Chains A and B, each alone.
Chain A
Amino acid sequence: MIPNLVYVVVVGVLIGAGVTLLLERTLTRVLIGVVLVGNGVNVLILTGSEFGTPPIVGETPEDGMSDPLPQAMILTAIVITLGITAFLLALAYRSQQLLGHDEVQDDAEDRRIIDLAERDEGPDAKENGDDGLPHPVYHCAPGKEGR
C-alpha cells in the first residue's frame, strides 16, 4: 500500500507545528501543541488504513470496504485527547490563579541544590560542625524567582 502524499504532508505539518509549540514555556501554547500533535497522529493512523466504500455488511461488496478499525481507534484517541485538553486547561487556569501566569517553572529543589553547590555547603555541612544554630533554609535561589 502506498500512502496518500497529501495525508503525509498534513501529518508532517501538524506534528512539526505541535512539537514546536510543545517546546514553549507557556502552558496554553503547550496545550495547543498537544492538540495539534494529537490530531497529527490521528491522521497518521488514518494514513495507514485502507480506503473504500462504507463498511456496512450487506450494503456494499466486501472487497472494496474501507477498514473500520483505524476509525474506531481514532475515535478513542479523540475522546482521550478531549479529556486531557480539558484537564490541561484547568491546570493552566489554576496556575494563572495562583501565580498570575501559566509558565512552566523550574523545580525549586533543583535550584536549591545548584545554589548549595555554588556556595559549597551541601546538606552534610551541618554534620561536621553541629553548633545548634538554626540552619538557613533556601526556598529558592535568590534572584532567580521570575524565571
Chain B
Amino acid sequence: MTFLVPLPVVIPLLGAALTLMMARRPAIQRTVSLTALVATLAVSSMLLALTVTEGPQVVAVGGWPPPLGIVLIADKLAALMLVVSTAVTLCVLVYSIGQGSADGDEETPMSVYHPTYLALTAGVTNAFLSGDLFNLYVGFEILLVASYVLLTLGSTENRIRAGTTYVVVSLLSSVIFLSALGLVYGATGTLNMAQLAGRFDELPDNLRLLLQGMLLLAFGIKAAVFPLGAWLPDSYPTAPAPVTAVFAGLLTKVGVYAIIRTETLLFPDGRIGDVLLVISLLTMVIGILGAVAQSDIKRLLSFTLISHIGYMLFGVALATEAGLSAAIFYIAHHITIQTTLFLAAGLVERRGGSTALERLGGLGKIAPVLAVLFFIPALNLAGIPPFSGYLGKLGLLQAGVDASGPLVWAVVAGGVLTSLLTLYAIGRVWNLAFWRTPHPDMPRDDADFDGGAMLPKLMVAPTIALVAFSVALTVVAGPLFAVTSEAAADLITRTPYIEAVFPDGAP
C-alpha cells in the first residue's frame, strides 16, 4: 500500500495543472478542485489508518534507494497532520466557491485562485511527507510561492502593501533555511533525515548547536514565534476571508511541524529546551496582549493565532512523551479552530459590512446562526470545558506539571493567564459585535444588500461542517489522544522512523 504515500502531493499538483488548463471554464475548475481535494482527503485518511496499524509508510521517489534518492515518509504524526489539514482545506475551498459565486469574481479572480490553492495544498502535504531536508525546503517554497499569489489576489493597494512585507520576511526565512541546508550538507554529506539522525550524533557540539539554531530561526519565522512573528498580523487580515482562514490554519502549523520533526529526530538531546520554554512563554503572553488591544476581529484573531503557537512550542520544549503528545493534539485542534473562526469572521464581514468592532453590533439578534457559529469555536479557542481546546491545554499543562522545575512552572502560569486573556479578548468581540443594539449602518435583510444573499448557503455550510468537525475532535478526543501519544512515543524513540527508511540500519 506504499503507493498511497506520494498521492497527497501528486493529486493536488495534477489538479492544479488541470485547473490552469481550464482557466476559462469555472464550472470544470470547481469540479476538478473539489474532486482533487476529496480524493486527497480519502487517501490521507487511508494513510492514517495504515500508519496506526502497520507503522510508517515509506516511498523512495523514482525508485532510487535511500539515501541516494528522496524519500517520502508517512508516520503517525505526518498522517494525522495530513488528514486534519486536508479536511480543513476542503471546507475552505467550498466556502470560497460559495463566496465567489455570490460576489462575482472582481476582487478574487477565480481562474487563478483554483490552481494556486491546489498548489498550496500540494506544498503543505509535501512538507508533511518529506523525509529529506531539501525536499522539505522545496515543499515550503511551493506553499510560500502559492501563498504570495493568494495574498496579493486582485492586487489592490492594501494587499500589495501587506504582500510586500509578507514576501520579504518569508524570503528571509527561506534564505536562512537554505544556508542551513548548505551547512548541514557540508558537515554531514547527506540531507536524508533518517541518515542525518545518526550523523548528527557524531558532530561536535558547537557545530550542532549552530545548525540547530539556524533551522529553528528559519522555522520560527514561518511559525510566527514571538520575536519573529510581527509580520503575521500585518499581512494576513488583508487577504480574502477564505485565504486568511487557510493561511491561519495551515501555514504556521507547517512551521511548527518542521520544528517538531527536526527537534525530535535530529536534535533529541533537548539542550535548548530552556530557550524554547522562554520563547513559548513570551509568544503566548505577548501575542495575547496584542490581541486584547485590537479593534478589528480579523487582526484580533491573527494575534490569538500567534499567541497559541506558544502552547505548541511549550509541548516541544518539554520534549517528554506527554508534552509532545499534547502538542500534536493541540496542533490538530488549533488548525480546525483558527480556520473556523476566520471563516466565521468572513461571514461577520459579509453580514455586518465590516470586521471593525466599533461598526458592528447586535449580530446575535440579527443573525443567530452566525452567532452560534462564532460562539462555539470561540469558547473552544479560549479552552472552556468540555471542548478540545480545554483538553489540549489540560494535556499540555499536565505534562508541564509532571516535568516540573521553576521555568516550567512559569510557563504553566503563563499558559493559564493566556487562556484567561483569550477568553477576555473573545468575550470582548462577543459583547461588541454580537450584543449591543445593532449598528444603524448595517444592512437589515437581503433586499438591502447589493451582493445577493447576505449569508450564502455555500458559505455557511462549510463553516457548520468545520464547527461540527471541531466538536467531533472533542468527542473522539480519547482515541485521538491514544494516536498522538503513540506518535509522540515514536518521535522520542526515533527507531520506527529510521528503521522504516533503512531496514538494515543507516549507512
Do B164 and A95 touch across chains, with their CB atoms under 8 A apart?
yes
A94, chain B: closest CB distance, angstroms: 5
User: Which B positions have Cβ atoms within 8 angstroms of A?
Assistant: 134, 138, 141, 145, 148-149, 152, 155, 157-158, 160-165, 167-168, 171-172, 174-175, 178-179, 181-183, 185-187, 234, 237, 293-296, 299, 356-359, 428, 431-432, 436-437, 440
Q: Which of A3, A80, A83, A122: most chain B CB closer than 10 A? A: A80
Roughly how many angstroms separate A113 CA and B171 CA in the complex, as a whole number? 28
Q: Nearest 8 pairs between A and B by C-beta?
A: A48-B186, A123-B295, A45-B182, A107-B234, A44-B182, A41-B179, A98-B157, A41-B178
B175 and A38 contacting across the interface, CB-CB below 8 Å: yes
Point out residues on A near B: beta carbons under 8 Å.
Answer: 1, 3, 22, 27, 30, 34, 37-38, 41, 44-45, 47-49, 69-70, 73, 76-77, 80, 83-84, 87-88, 91, 94-95, 98-99, 104-105, 107-110, 113, 116, 122-124, 126-127, 130, 132, 135, 137
For residue B152, which residue of chain A has the nearest CB? Answer: A91
**Residue B175 contacts which of A37, A49, A73, A104 (CB distance < 8 angstroms)?**
A37
A5 shortest CB reach to chain B, Å: 15
Cβ B295 vs Cβ A122 within 8 A: yes
A73-B185, A87-B149 known; 11 other A-B pairs, CB under 8 Å? A22-B172, A34-B171, A45-B181, A49-B186, A80-B145, A80-B174, A95-B161, A105-B161, A123-B432, A127-B431, A127-B436
Flag if A104 contacts B185 (CB, 8 Å): no
Q: Give Cα A110–Cα B356 distance, bound, in whole angstroms.
A: 14
Chain A interface main SS type: helix
- From A104, which residue of chain B is reached at the shortest CB distance? B164
Nearest CB on A from B81, distance (A): 24
Can you list 14 A-B pairs, Cβ within 8 angstroms, ordered by A? A34-B168, A37-B175, A45-B186, A47-B186, A48-B183, A70-B185, A73-B181, A84-B145, A87-B148, A91-B164, A95-B164, A122-B293, A123-B356, A124-B432
Contacting residues, chain B, for A34 (C-beta < 8 A) = 168, 171, 175
CA distance in complex: A142, B299 (Å): 22
A22 touches B178 (CB 8 A): no
> Are the CB atoms of A104 and B295 closer together than 8 Å?
no
CA distance A94 to B428 in the complex (A): 38
Least CB distance, A114 to chain B, in whole angstroms:
11
Of chain B, the residue at the smallest CB distance from A43 is B182
